[in-house]
Structure 1
């Protein structure tokens, strides 16, 4: 995917990868930690 986008746009200034977790019982704490 990265190579294809790089060819289409000619350059990429920034790439962001984000992942998080969410547990229904402790969602307020996890939102505070992940955001």
Structure 2
């Protein structure tokens, strides 16, 4: 999948669920590294 598309989805999900975006972004970067 397109990494940018995933990041957009994560931003939306975090905005809706108030999850810490920083932690999820770190996990995403680790998974795509």
Shared fold (TM-score greater than 0.5)? Answer: no
TM-score, normalising length: structure 1 = 0.32
Q: Which has the larger radius of gyration?
A: 1
Question: Normalised by the size of structure 2, how large is the TM-score?
Answer: 0.33
Q: Which has more helix, going by share of residues? A: 2
